Amino acid sequence: MAMIRTTLAAAALAIGSLGSPAMADTAEVWCFTQQTGHAPTSVKSCGFSQRQGNVRVQRDTITYVFHAEQQGIRYERVNDQGGIVFRSPNGLLRVFWERPCSEWTGCAGGR
């Protein structure tokens, strides 16, 4: 009898989790944008979230949205150890997991 209750409880938990979608957490990252033909903007603190391959990046009052099904059509995504680059014909958005620094120029976007 105890095994049936345990099995039913496990099944109820599994079924209950099917109805609740996984929520994306927002991580604090660093980013800059660059319009094609223009100088890049300064590096600023940004918010980054991803759910099922869809990405949102919040920079100041602007939210950039990259839908997974549009990758390779409207934009290119390049992941590397330091972050992600989203590139479109209009320009790019570069996301860094940590504030980018260089021994030659210091930290990008000021000190």
Specify if 60 maps to a domain: yes
Specify if 56 maps to a domain: yes
Q: Structural domain tally of the chain?
A: 1
Print the SS3 string covering 44-95: EEEEEEEECCEEEEEECCEEEEECHHHECCCEEEEEECCEEEEEECCEEEEE
Specify if 13 maps to a domain: no
d(CA 63, CA 45): 13
pLDDT in tens, 43-83: 999 999 999 999 999 999 999 999 999 999 999 999 998 99
The CA-based diameter of the chain, rounded to the nearest angstrom, is 72
Q: What is the pLDDT of residue 101?
A: 78
For residue 71, what are its two tokens? 């990758």
Q: Higher pLDDT residue, 25 or 14?
A: 25
Q: Smallest Cα–Cα separation from 64: which of 42, 82, 90? A: 90
Structural domain boundaries enclosing 33: 27-107
pLDDT-derived band at 24, boundaries 50, 70, 90: low
Place of tokens 């549009």: 70
